[in-house]
Amino acid sequence: MKYFPLLWATLWRKKTRTIFTLLSVTVAFLLFGLLETVDYAFAHPSSGVTGADKLLTLNKYSVTLSLPFADVREIRSVPGVAEATWITWFGAYYQDPKNFVFALPIDTDSYFNLHKDEFVVAAPEMQAFRNTRSGALVNAALLKKFGWKIGEKLPLHSTIWTQKSDGSLDWKFDIVGTFSVKDATQASAQSSTVLFHYEMFDEGRSFGAGTIGWIEERVQDASQAGQIAAKIDALFANSPNETKTQPANDFALTFIKQYGDIGFVLRAILGAVFFTLLFLTGNTMMQSVRERIPELAVLKTLGFGDAKLLGLVLAESLLLCVIAALVGLALSYAALPIIKLGLRGVELSPRALAPGLLVAVLLALIVGLPPALRAMRLNIVDALADKR
Amino acid sequence: MSEAIVSLRNVDKRYTRGKQSVEVLQGLSLDIPKGDFVALMGPSGSGKTTLLNLIGGLDKPSSGEITVAGQRLDQLSSGGLAHWRANHVGFVFQFYNLMPMLSAQRNVELPLLLTHLSAAQRRANALAALTLVGIADRAKHKPNELSGGQAQRVAIARALVADPTLLVCDEPTGDLDRKSADDVLHLLQMLNRDHGKSIVMVTHDPKAAEFARRQLHMDKGALLDGATMA
């Protein structure tokens, strides 16, 4: 601690340079904090406690490949499965591709039975939905966002499904009611959802009739979910439509993973950032030590030994990197709510503090070692020769 | 003044520049008694600063023996020399060589960081040293807020604060006006006379040399006065 005032003063010897270096390291660790958290969420998707009794069965090879409707009946026969319902990806937007709508064709009875106590729907509106073949239940937040009203027609453009009647991708629904979600953690995930009848969709589409996108199951005992998932997949082993059954919490992540290895992408970004940072901070440290050669020589003259000088320069590097890392990681935690808005359905919790500090220490040692060695090997007579 | 604080015997110092070996000091022998104030004079390249570096333990001889404050410096390792310097010698340079980002007081405290003194004791000792050189009122000022004479006083306080037996001064007035130079030289004289500090000072300035008890003249790596004994 007695060297802290010397280290601190040295760090701020060139204020502008130190501020810019701190900023660049801070931004790198802000990115590190965010990406580590997202990476952890993708690597440990079932860390959430809600929905532990829900399973999801998909085509084993791709979420874009469908399953035969008959699979539902077989799955319902598996002991321990309390309910099973089916859904297909509709891929919709409202008026403009930017206005994404998470439109889901559902089987009303089985869907709401499976998700009982999760949705809040006024009884008259639920009744109206059951009675209206073209009816749609719209998330209340979405209704408000686009200024829709109950009783209005809702035109949605599907990016996949053409209609049997005219080959059009434009579908029309009648807004008969709204719903909200009880669980606050699920509220944002459902904020773009529109529910409509599977029967109307299946009969109206020009291809794919009798097939389904995926099957959702609720099991009687959440602790048995893993074994039941294995039993379901065993049912369809070696069939033309092999399945992969997983916790429902993993679905959003599985869907995103279709686009590539998220972990690899995140690590590649971080690798590039820190590789650049090594040169940037390393160069700054080298420059800083180069400018202070006479001062370091004076310290040696006063009796500071080689090891002490090595330690001082390394400590300076540590101070710079750890301060910036702490600020960056703190900012990344503060920014988590914003990231959550863009990654609906993905549970994010801060994970990067310990690995972040470890990376900061490693970074400090790597960038600090060359100038520290230079300081250590300094020849006093040569260093003082220019200025004494 | 009988006991020698500095003793050199047949000291050679050679530097290698490219393929050439340059002999800077040749067979130099010298004794400086404890409590002496010696001015080393001579033209540029005569070997004054090299000799000062050897006496101050900043460099090692190519051959020969150097004993300062009872310690054979030519036998010490780099770490041993650093430790010895911290305990036995204070340095004063022509351009003060203060840390620009530290206050005068923090600059003076630097040698004390190598001791086991508490922060309060370090501060008190630094202030005492600044008071001794007559600049305690500028303790909180940074070097760029001090005049040349004031900065050199701070440098002298830094050299004194660990209570070394020997002060090594390389052109301490080379960057000062006459008035400031005289003040600094009077200060060195006072430290020698009243506090018993042994001082070896390199200077080009004959007026500065007059403040010393003795003058030694060098040329081409040798003492013109011969092997000077107490």
B150 lies in some domain? yes
How large a percentage of chain B has pLDDT more than 70? 97
Structure confidence at residue A251 (pLDDT): 67
Over range B196-221, report the average pLDDT: 93
Q: Minimal Cα–Cα distance from B186 to chain A, Å?
A: 21
Q: Tell me if B124 is assigned to some domain.
A: yes
Q: Is B197 left (phi over 0), alpha (psi -120 to 50) or beta?
A: beta
pLDDT number for residue A387: 47
CB contact under 8 A, A302 and B53: no
In angstroms, how far is the first alpha carbon of chain A from the final one?
Answer: 30
pLDDT band at B230 (very low <50, low <70, confident <90, very high): very low
Global ipTM? 0.91
- How many distinct structural domains can be found in chain B? 1
Going by C-alpha positions, the residue among B52, B36, B20, B19 that lies closest to residue B218 is B52
Domain locations in chain A as residue ranges: 4-45+261-385, 52-257
Q: What is the mean pLDDT of chain A?
A: 87
In a domain, B65, yes or no: no
Q: What is the pLDDT of residue A247?
A: 84
In order, the DSSP letters of A104-121 are: EEE-HHHHHHHTTTTEEE
Which residues are CB-contacts of A46 (< 8 A; sequence separation ≥ 6)? A52, A247, A249, A250
Q: For residue B48, give both structure tokens.
A: 């004054």
Residues of A in contact with B110 (CB under 8 A): 6, 299, 302
Please give the model's pTM, rounded to 2 decimal places. Answer: 0.69
CA angle A268, A270, A274 (to 5 degrees): 120
Q: How far is A302 from chain B (nearest CA, A)?
A: 6
Q: Which helix (H) or strand (E) is B150 found in, with range? A: helix B148-160
**Residues in contact with A200: Cβ distance below 8 Å, sequence separation at least 6, in sequence order:** A105, A133, A134
The answer to the question of residue B5 being in a domain is no
pLDDT at B229: 45
Q: Which of A3, A303, A381 sits opposite B82 (nearest CB)?
A: A303
CB distance B106–A301 less than 8 Å?
no
Which chain A residues touch B59 with a CB distance below 8 Å? 380-381
> Residues near A295 by Cβ (< 8 Å), separated by ≥ 6?
B97, B99, B100
Q: CA-nearest residue of chain A to B161?
A: A302
Determine, yes or no, domain membership for B6.
no
The span from the CA of A332 to the CA of A340, in Å, is 12
CA atoms within 13 A on the CB side of B123: 6
Cβ separation of B114 and A304 shorter than 8 Å? yes
* Radius of gyration, alpha carbons of chain A: 30
> Residue B8 domain-assigned?
no
- Position B221 scores a pLDDT of 87
Quick one: average pLDDT of A292-304? 92
Tell me: the pLDDT tens digits for A200-234?
Answer: 999 999 999 999 999 999 999 888 888 999 999 99
pLDDT tens digits along A319-362? 999 999 999 989 988 887 777 666 655 556 667 788 888 989 99
**Chain A residues contacting B via beta carbons under 8 Å:** 2-3, 5-6, 9-10, 12-13, 294-295, 298-308, 380-381, 384, 387-388
Give all strands of the β-sheet with B166-170 in edge-to-edge order.
B89-92, B166-170, B198-202, B37-41, B214-219, B222-223
Look up residue B77 and give its two tokens. 């390792």
Identify the band that residue A49 occupies on the pLDDT scale cut at 50, 70 and 90: very low
- Report pLDDT for A268: 86
Rounded to whole angstroms, the Cα distance separating B126 from A163 reads 90
Contact between B85 and A301 using a beta-carbon 8 Å cutoff:
yes
pLDDT of res. A354: 85
The whole domain housing B113 covers 32-60+85-223
The alpha carbon of residue A280 is apart from the nearest alpha carbon of chain B, in Å, by 24
Question: pLDDT band at A289, cuts 50/70/90?
Answer: confident
Share of chain B above pLDDT 90, in %: 82
User: Could you tell me if residue B52 is inside a domain?
Assistant: yes
Average pLDDT rounded to a whole number, residues B42-49: 90
Please state which of the ranges A251-265, B110-124, B137-151, B172-186 shows the lowest mean pLDDT.
A251-265
Chain A residues lying within 8 Å of B111, measured CB to CB: 302-303
Q: Is residue B84's pLDDT more than 90?
A: yes
Distance CA A230, CA A274 (A): 42
Q: Which residue is it, tokens 């980002």?
A: B101
Give the best residue of A302, A309, A377 to mutate against chain B (max B CB count within 10 A): A302
The answer to whether B34 touches B4, Cβ cutoff 8 Å, is yes
The CATH number assigned to the domain holding B184 equals 3.40.50.300
Neighboring chain B residues of A299 at a CB cutoff of 8 Å? 110
Please state, for a pLDDT cut of 70, what percent of chain A lies above it: 89
Q: A–B: how many Cβ contacts below 8 A? A: 74
For residue B100, the chain A residues in CB contact (below 8 A) are: 13, 295
When comparing pLDDT for A266 and A110, which is higher?
A110
Q: Is the pLDDT of residue A252 over 80?
A: no
Q: How many residues does chain A have?
A: 388
**pLDDT of res. A1:** 79
- Among A222, A234, A220, which residue's Cα sits nearest to residue A84? A220
Residue B225 confidence class, pLDDT cut points 50, 70, 90:
low
